[in-house]
């Protein structure tokens, strides 16, 4: 499965601005600065498609990118990747609802075409209370969640494996769920890219 085209499609801060059409959506959520926009660019091999920044809080709106993928039988598959604003840095316990703005909650509750939420967690640190609450909220609301541990290039492979286990334990990932593998990802060297593309393809073809 390869991505052969990716282009900016729309920006929204409320439901009336969601793009028209029937394309399935794959959304990316996580704390500010965790690497959501960078991951989209690396998946698409298109730097600058989604705006990135070293300063948290770069993405403030819901941004849609229209993707054309090609399957091994040469057929085409069109879908949307959806970049979302990050949630806060606050250390104290937060409910999921308090971590994101109303328009993000509206997005979760109104996007019938949402097939998968990729929740990004920085592989270097244990999940924060906000990450845990968001993960639970998404699961409770019946969404498909793929956890992605980002910035895997910043620590050794051994530590990546260790930290992935800590993330699994802390978010209480259901062990019996066959889909509950965390993908370690690096937007810098492409670690995890093929694995995540596979997950996306399988969800879209379901």
Positions in the binding site for ligand GTP (CB under 6 A): 30, 32-38, 52-54, 56-59, 85-86, 150-151, 153-154, 186-188
Q: List the single partner that 127 binds among Mg ion, ligand GTP, none, CB under 5 to 8 Å by kind.
A: none
**Cβ 11 to Mg ion, closest distance in Å?**
13
Smallest distance from ligand GTP to CB 118, Å: 11
Rounded to the nearest whole angstrom, what is the least distance from the CB of residue 5 to ligand GTP in the complex? Answer: 21
Q: From the CB of 148, what's the least distance to ligand GTP, in Å?
A: 10
Nearest distance, CB of residue 73 and ligand GTP, angstroms? 31
77 vs 196 by CB, closer to ligand GTP: 196
Query: What span, in angstroms and rounded, lies between the C-alpha atoms of 30 and 136?
Result: 13
Pick 64 or 77: Cβ nearer ligand GTP: 64
Residue 34: contacted member of Mg ion, ligand GTP, none (CB under 5 to 8 Å, by partner type): ligand GTP
- Binding residues (CB under 5 A) for Mg ion: these are 36-37, 58-59
Give the number of other CB atoms < 10 A from CB of residue 131: 26
Which position's Cβ is nearest Mg ion?
59
Nearer to ligand GTP, 77 or 127 (CB): 127
Q: Toward Mg ion, which CB reaches closer, 59 or 133?
A: 59
DSSP conformation letters of the chain:
-EEEEEEEEEEESSGGGSPPS---EEEEEEBTTSSHHHHHHHHHT-TTSS---SSS----SEEEEEEEEE-TTS-EEEEEEEE-PPBP---S---HHHHS-HHHHHHHHH-TTEEEEEEEEETTSPPPHHHHHHHHHHHHTT--EEEEEE-GGGS-HHHHHHHHHHHHHHTT--TT-TT-PPEE--TTT-TTHHHHHHHHHHHHH-
Question: Which CB atom, from 69 or from 86, has the smaller least distance to ligand GTP?
Answer: 86
């Amino acid at each position: 499965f390869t991505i052969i085209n990716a282009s900016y499609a729309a920006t929204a801060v409320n439901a009336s601005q969601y793009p028209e059409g029937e394309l399935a959506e794959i959304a990316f959520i996580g704390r500010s600065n965790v690497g959501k926009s960078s991951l989209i660019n690396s998946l698409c091999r298109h730097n600058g498609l989604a705006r990135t920044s070293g300063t948290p809080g770069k993405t403030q709106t819901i941004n849609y990118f229209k993707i054309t993928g090609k399957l091994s039988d040469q057929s085409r598959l069109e879908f949307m990747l959806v970049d979302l604003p990050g949630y806060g840095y606050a250390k104290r316990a937060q409910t999921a609802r308090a971590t994101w703005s109303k328009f993000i909650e509206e997005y979760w509750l109104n996007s019938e075409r949402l097939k998968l939420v990729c929740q990004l967690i920085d592989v270097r640190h244990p999940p924060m209370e906000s990450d845990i609450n968001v993960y639970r909220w998404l699961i409770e609301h019946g969404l498909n969640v793929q956890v992605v541990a980002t910035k895997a290039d910043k620590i050794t492979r051994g530590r990546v494996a260790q930290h992935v286990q800590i993330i699994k334990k802390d978010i209480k990932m259901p062990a019996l769920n066959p889909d509950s593998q965390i993908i370690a990802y690096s937007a810098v060297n492409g670690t995890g890219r093929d694995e995540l593309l596979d997950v996306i393809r399988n969800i879209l073809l379901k």
